[in-house]
Amino acid sequence: MKTYLIPVDFSTASANAAEYAAALSHLTLVDRIVLLNAFYVSIYETTLPSPDMIMLSEDDIEQDAADRIKKLKLLKHKLSEKVRPGVEITIHLNRSHLLRAVVENVASQQADLVILGSRGNTSDEDTQIGSHVIKIAKACPVPIIVVPPNYSFKQIHKVAVAVDFSKVKETAPIEALHRLLTHKKAELMVINTDTRNKGIDPQKAAEETAIYSTLQQYKPQYFNLQESDVITGILKFAIDNDAQLVISLPNKYSFFQSIVYTSISYQLAESSAVPVLLLK
C-alpha cells in the first residue's frame, strides 16, 4: 500500500485514526499519507440568514478555510514525528461533502487505503455517531480501516477474518491483506460465521470453499463461531483471542454485510475495541 487517505474533522476520533495510520506506516510499504478535510458551504448559507440571523460572507468562508489549513498543518507536524522515516505527509482541503471528497481524492491521490475513525468525520464537524462510515464503505473503491475512537495502536500479531463458508463461491480479493502486512507475518484466524453447523470441523468445511486455497499461504487456523448473534460473537472472539485487526471480506462473503447497510459505526464504537479492515 503506497498511499493512505485519512479523512479528518479535527475531532478526537479522527486524530486518533491519523495516529493509527502513522503507527501502521512502520509495518507497511506506504510512501505517503494524505490528510483530507472536507467542508461544505451551501449556497443558502451565503445568500440567506440563518435562524440566528447570521449569513456567511466570502471572507468568513475564506477565514474558515485558512483555520482548517492551519489545523491540518499542525496535525501534519505532529504525525511527522511518528511515521516511518521517508514517509511523506501531505494535506488537502476539499470544499465539498465528505463522501464526494473521499471518492474524488481516492482517485486523484491514487490512494490504496482509507483510514478513518468510527466517530466524527462529518462535513459540519458533528462528532456524534453518524452514517459517514456506512456511506464511505459502500462508495469507496479501495479498502477501509475503521478505527474505534479510543483504540491505541498495537503491533499486528493476530488477525481475525470472518467468513460465512456457506456463501463463499469464488476466491476472495486478499491482495490488500498481503500488501498491508508485507513486513510482518501475522497469525491468521478464520472464523466460520455460518452458525447453522456449529459442530462441523471448520478446517474441513473451509477446504470445500474457494477461499481455502487463497488463504493457504498464510497457514490460518479455522474456528466455528459459537455465538448465535454473529456480530457480537465475532467481536468477542477478536477480543478473547487478542486479535489486533478484524477483516471483513466483501459483502458477498462477509458477516458485516448487514452492518454495512445499517449501523457499522455504532457497532464499532459501542461494541468493538478492535479496528476493522473492510476489503473490496
Contact 244, 120 (CB under 8 A): no
Q: Residue 196: its pLDDT value, please?
A: 74
Are 139 and 8 in a shared domain? yes
- pLDDT of 124 over the 50 cut: no
Cα–Cα distance for residue pair 82/147, rounded to 1 Å: 18
Q: Which of 102, 118, 147 corresponds to the end of one domain?
A: 147
Percent of the chain with pLDDT over 70: 73
Question: CATH number of the domain that 57 lies in?
Answer: 3.40.50.620
- The answer to whether residues 109 and 181 belong to one domain is no
Same domain, 132 and 230: no
Read off the pLDDT of residues 203-241 as tens digits, 9 standing for 90 and up.
988 888 877 887 888 889 999 988 877 777 888 899 899
Residue 9 belongs to domain spanning: 3-147
In a shared domain, residues 118 and 171: no
pLDDT digits (tens, 9 = 90+) for 137-178: 778 899 889 888 888 888 888 999 888 777 766 556 666 666
What is the pLDDT at residue 108?
96
Give SS3 for 156: coil
Full strand arrangement of the beta sheet holding 144-147 = 88-94, 32-38, 3-7, 113-117, 144-147, 276-278, 245-248, 158-163, 187-192, 221-224
pLDDT at position 114 is 94
Of the residues 100, 126, 147, the one at which a domain ends: 147
183 and 132 fall within a common domain: no
Alpha helices, DSSP H, located in the chain:
12-24, 43-47, 58-80, 98-108, 132-139, 175-180, 202-207, 211-215, 230-240, 257-260, 264-271
pLDDT given for residue 56 in this prediction: 58
With b for 16 or more beta-carbon neighbours within 10 A and e for fewer, the 150-181 pattern comes to ebebeebebbbbbbbbebbeeebebebbebbb
Q: Give dist(CA 237, CA 231) in Å, integer.
A: 10
Same domain, 103 and 200: no
Overall domain count for the chain: 2
CB 63 within 8 A of CB 32: no
What pLDDT is stored for residue 254 in this prediction? 55
Mean pLDDT, the chain, rounded, equals 79
Q: Which residue has the cell 507497511?
A: 28
- Cβ atoms of 32 and 112 within 8 Å: the answer is no
**Which pLDDT belongs to residue 221?**
94
The answer to the question of residue 201 being in a domain is yes
Which residues, listed in sequence order, are joined to residue 84 by a DSSP beta bridge? none
On whether the CB atoms of residues 125 and 11 are closer than 8 A, the answer is yes
Count CB-CB contacts under 10 A for residue 62.
10
Radius of gyration of the chain (CA): 20
Range scoring the smallest mean pLDDT among 66-80, 206-220, 232-246, 265-279? 265-279
pLDDT of residue 266: 44
Residue 181 · residue 29 · CB < 8 Å: no
Q: What is the mean pLDDT of residues 127-135?
A: 56
230-240 and 264-271 helices, crossing angle to 10°: 40
Are residues 128 and 188 located together in one domain of the fold? no
Q: What was the pLDDT predicted at 88?
A: 97
Flag whether 153 is in a domain.
no
Domain of residue 250, CATH code: 3.40.50
Does the pLDDT at position 68 exceed 70?
yes
Q: Does 43 score more than 60 pLDDT?
A: no
pLDDT at 262: 45
